[in-house]
Amino acid sequence: MSPPPQEGRPGRVTVYADGAARGNPGPAGAGVRIEDARGRRVREAFRYLGETTNNVAEYRALILGLELARELGASEVELRADSELIVRQMTGEYRVRNVRLQELHREAQALAQAFRSVGYVHIRREQNRAADRLANLAIDQEEALSGAEKS
């Protein structure tokens, strides 16, 4: 049995992470939703990533989710993502061949060391709608700002 979480800190969290790129490469964003053990939203975040590929965006979302879970003081993380490639690379089922993804994979693995346990679960897109909405919001806001600057 694991010790109870510290006051005000979630013990176990579920992180929903999604990356989006419009084009491959293209404008990209990362979105994250974090829930506590009871399924209540604890935190949501999004980040514009500039021009990059969908797989880089997926890794950036995973990394953002782990960073936020660490900031929240979580001890156990279940990370859910709709990218089968990223999930299987993180669990060691697939090798990471792309040099850029190797760098991001190492960064994610290092962040995962901050937790007592981290599990990775592949989910269907429909189950990841909140994170997808946030990833696309990052792109939409950047495009709106860029459009306003050009006017």
Q: Which residue has the higher pLDDT, 17 or 4?
A: 17
**Residues 32-47: tens digit of each pLDDT:** 999 999 999 999 999 9
Rounded-to-integer distance, Cα 82 and Cα 101, Å:
17
Q: Average pLDDT of 89-106? A: 98
CA separation for the pair 135, 58 (Å, rounded): 10
> What is the DSSP secondary-structure string of 42-69?
EEEEEEEEEEE-HHHHHHHHHHHHHHHH
Q: What are phi and psi of 112, to 5 degrees?
A: -65, -25
The mean pLDDT value of the chain amounts to 94
| pLDDT for res 84 | 98
Distance of alpha carbon 84 from alpha carbon 40, whole angstroms: 25
Q: What are phi and psi of 12, to 5 degrees?
A: -115, 135
pLDDT (0 to 100) of residue 147: 78
pLDDT computed for residue 7 by the predictor: 55
Please name every residue paired with 21 in a beta bridge, in sequence order, or none if there are none.
28
Find the mean pLDDT for residues 83-95.
98
For residue 9, name the pLDDT band (cuts at 50, 70, 90): confident
At residue 2, the pLDDT reads 40
Q: May I ask the CATH architecture of the domain 12-143?
A: 2-Layer Sandwich (3.30)
Beta strand 26-35 pairing with 12-21 = antiparallel
